[in-house]
Structure 1
Amino acid sequence: MKRLTVGMLLGLAMTAAAAQAPYNAETTYRKLVRDYPDIRIASADIAAPVQVRKDLVYLQRGDLPLALDLYLPGPVGKPVPLVILVHGGGWASGQRSNLAPLASRLAARGYAAATVSYRLSGQALYPAAIHDVKEALRWLRQHAGSFGLDPARVAIAGGSAGGQIASLVGMTEPQAIRAVVNIDGLSDFTTEAARKHEDDPNKKPSAAGAWFGGRYAEKEALWREASPITHAGKDSPPVLFIVSGVPRFSVGREAMAARLAAHGIHTDTVALPGTPHSFWLFDPWLAPTVDAMANFLERVLGS
């Protein structure tokens, strides 16, 4: 049997990403509406006084500009806390506009929210996405004064793959990140429960395998390094977990919460029973997601 090289895996990932439907609210709605006929795609309409600064390039990587959209709560007379939002899509798809409804609703609650783009697995393997999100964090902190942001009150959040990325960035940048919100994202790639799906030999490659450039047996160090639980410790920020009714997507949550608790770090879990993965893209589930985030952020960052 021919052994797959990193280059071959990358090529397969790019082919798979090109062949599959893009990950966004519209394509996900078509998959879910039969089982959840009352769902509606959450509106991304912006209500005054929320203001948006779109297509802000935070980094140029060769010919690829990496950009973010910044949602601001309007003039408040003092610097406001910031939430960086990281989209999901199996590390291979998705776009920052997926989180526009969440960003606009957080801004209406008084929090600046930045939706960020990063290199997907078909463009660059792990840890490129992590480096990109950290560059966005640095850019936003450096330009905080220009947008009325408080660089001392920064949180990071994301859904699915974006939840894992956000949690990993938060655990490895504790001096800059004050709070983490992991929405239905993995906390530990290395557990048997996670590898059942992410290291399935019938997937050639799996989403995680394509991102790491190899299966667990070949790239164990990367799978472990990318697991947020690996970096959880005494200096970690508090974490809010918001989970769907599909446990496989939040594997490792209980162990990570326990590890943080052992260091006196606060965690909360808000479960939305009966919800599908990607619930945060839709009403009626976006409203309780925003409520949970706003309550947690007010406690950790202040209003």
Structure 2
Amino acid sequence: MMPLRYIFSLALVCLHTAAFAAPCVEPPPDPANTYDAQHTYEKLLRDYPSIRIASAALPVDVNRLGDQVYAQYGDRCLKLDLYLPLAARADVGMPVVVLVHGGGWRAGFRAEFAPMAVRLAQRGYAAVTVSYRLSGEAPYPAAIHDVRAAVRWVRGHAGQYRLDPRRIALAGGSAGGQIASLAGVTGHLDRFDPGAADSAVSSAVQAVVNIDGLSEFTTEAALKYEDDPRKQPSAAGAWFGGRYAEKSALWAEASPIRYVRPGMPPMLFIASAQARFSAGREEMAARMAQAGVASSTLVLPDTPHSFWLFDPWLQPAVDAVVAFLNRQMPGKG
């Protein structure tokens, strides 16, 4: 007899096979793209000798549906991986967390968030890790468009996978934290979502989690690093297609803090001990409070950037995400 997980996975994959019939092409591997857990571990081990790469092994109570195509531009396909708790109640849709990887807008892999996705699934959340077009392929705001398309795919497939379309959160780390924040706080603006014109399915979300990502590009602290003249170009400069002096309007437009308003999604900030990576966080939280919007902040002491890739820090981050989302997206029934 085939294992239950295999039967469940096979049935779901068969349902999805015909969604995109055109040829599907992904760019070849980029040898310069080294933002992953192993390379980061090698850089951090000397200063943090007790860290361990967090496991992405699939436990028996979680099912993974990999390589689902959520958007296609010509023959270029964008994919996501869906992690589902097998013990979810059949009568209540699962809340969802869509996870956006980091890498300075020009690098990284969706597998970065597989360990967090597994642990979220074990806590009753469906978790989705997404790939998006990096700056070398498509500059700002393509990544925002892609993430909004991923949210629409999730909501559009809610019935198929027993997801709750009323409880979808966006989360990300580093550049992914900024992307998730901007995509999340602009859910009311179709200019960040070209697909809105052709779909009745919303790409708005109900909560946002920004893990060590910028909230404001134009502060002195952010510009010191993101517009460093010694870098030609800097990571942000490559994404925007120019330095701050050349593309100041885009640098400002991409700052999530500019979109604080009553009724925006609540936000959890999880920060490392490296303050430069979360520039604008405190001011954004203050503006949200003035607008009557809930926010919460967790700063993990003595942590490097990219702490979510490693134990012992991943679990406290997951615990904070679950506690926050349980408050802000409570279930029905």
Question: Which of 274, 282, 293 lines up with 2:310 in the alignment?
Answer: 282
Contact 1:21 1:27 in 2 (8 A): no
Instruction: State the match for 1:26 in structure 2.
Output: 38
- Asked if 1:189 is matched to 2:217, the reply is yes
- Asked if 1:140 is matched to 2:168, the reply is no
Summarize the Cα distance change of 1:233–1:35 in structure 2 as closer, same or farther, 3 Å threshold.
same
Cα distance in 1 for residues equivalent to 2:330 and 2:36: 32
Contact 1:154 1:178 in 2 (8 A): yes
Question: Which of 108, 112, 119 lines up with 2:126 in the alignment?
Answer: 112
* Matched ranges for 1:27-176 at <5 A: 27-74=39-86, 75-77=88-90, 78-173=92-187, 176=204
Question: Which of 262, 265, 273 lines up with 1:245 in the alignment?
Answer: 273
Cα distance in 1 for residues equivalent to 2:39 and 2:74: 30
* TM superposition shift of 1:18: 5.1
Summarize the Cα distance change of 1:48–1:302 in structure 2 as closer, same or farther, 3 Å threshold.
farther
* Matched ranges for 1:282-301 at <5 A: 282-301=310-329
The worse-fitting range, judged by mean Cα deviation, of 140-149 and 167-176 is 167-176
Deviation readout 1:108-151 (Å, 9 max, x if unpaired): 00000100000000000000000000111111111110011000
Cα distance in 2 for residues equivalent to 1:31 and 1:65: 32
Equivalent AA in structure 2 for residue 100 of structure 1: A
Deviation readout 1:173-193 (Å, 9 max, x if unpaired): 157211110000000001111
Equivalent AA in structure 1 for residue 225 of structure 2: H
Contiguous gaps of at least 5 residues in structure 1: 1-16
Equivalent AA in structure 2 for residue 227 of structure 1: S
Summarize the Cα distance change of 1:219–1:257 in structure 2 as closer, same or farther, 3 Å threshold.
same
Cα distance in 1 for residues equivalent to 2:165 and 2:69: 19
- Equivalent position SS for 2:95: strand
* TM superposition shift of 1:50: 1.0
- Equivalent position SS for 1:169: helix
Cα distance in 2 for residues equivalent to 1:21 and 1:258: 36
Equivalent AA in structure 2 for residue 120 of structure 1: L
- Equivalent position SS for 2:185: helix
Contact 1:184 1:244 in 2 (8 A): yes
Q: Percent identity?
A: 63
* TM superposition shift of 1:21: 5.0
- Equivalent position SS for 1:202: coil
Question: Which of 295, 299, 309 lines up with 1:267 in the alignment?
Answer: 295
Deviation readout 1:42-76 (Å, 9 max, x if unpaired): 00011122111110000112232100000111142
Instruction: State the match for 1:233 in structure 2.
Output: 261
Contact 2:95 2:164 in 1 (8 A): yes
Equivalent AA in structure 1 for residue 177 of structure 2: G
TM (norm. structure 1) is 0.93
Deviation readout 1:51-109 (Å, 9 max, x if unpaired): 11110000112232100000111142121100100000000000101100000000000
Equivalent AA in structure 2 for residue 150 of structure 1: D
Cα distance in 1 for residues equivalent to 2:100 and 2:31: 23
Q: Which has the higher contact order (CA 8 A, sep 6+)?
A: 1
Instruction: State the match for 1:11 in structure 2.
Output: none
Instruction: State the match for 2:245 in structure 1.
Output: 217
Number of equivalenced pairs: 288
- Asked if 1:254 is matched to 2:268, the reply is no
Contact 2:33 2:108 in 1 (8 A): no
Contiguous gaps of at least 5 residues in structure 2: 1-28, 189-201
- Equivalent position SS for 2:269: strand
Calculate the aligned-residue CA RMSD, in Å.
1.4
Instruction: State the match for 2:3 in structure 1.
Output: none
* TM superposition shift of 1:288: 0.3
Equivalent AA in structure 1 for residue 74 of structure 2: G
Stretches of 4+ moved more than 6 A in 1? Answer: none
Equivalent AA in structure 2 for residue 190 of structure 1: T
Equivalent AA in structure 1 for residue 322 of structure 2: A
- Equivalent position SS for 2:177: helix
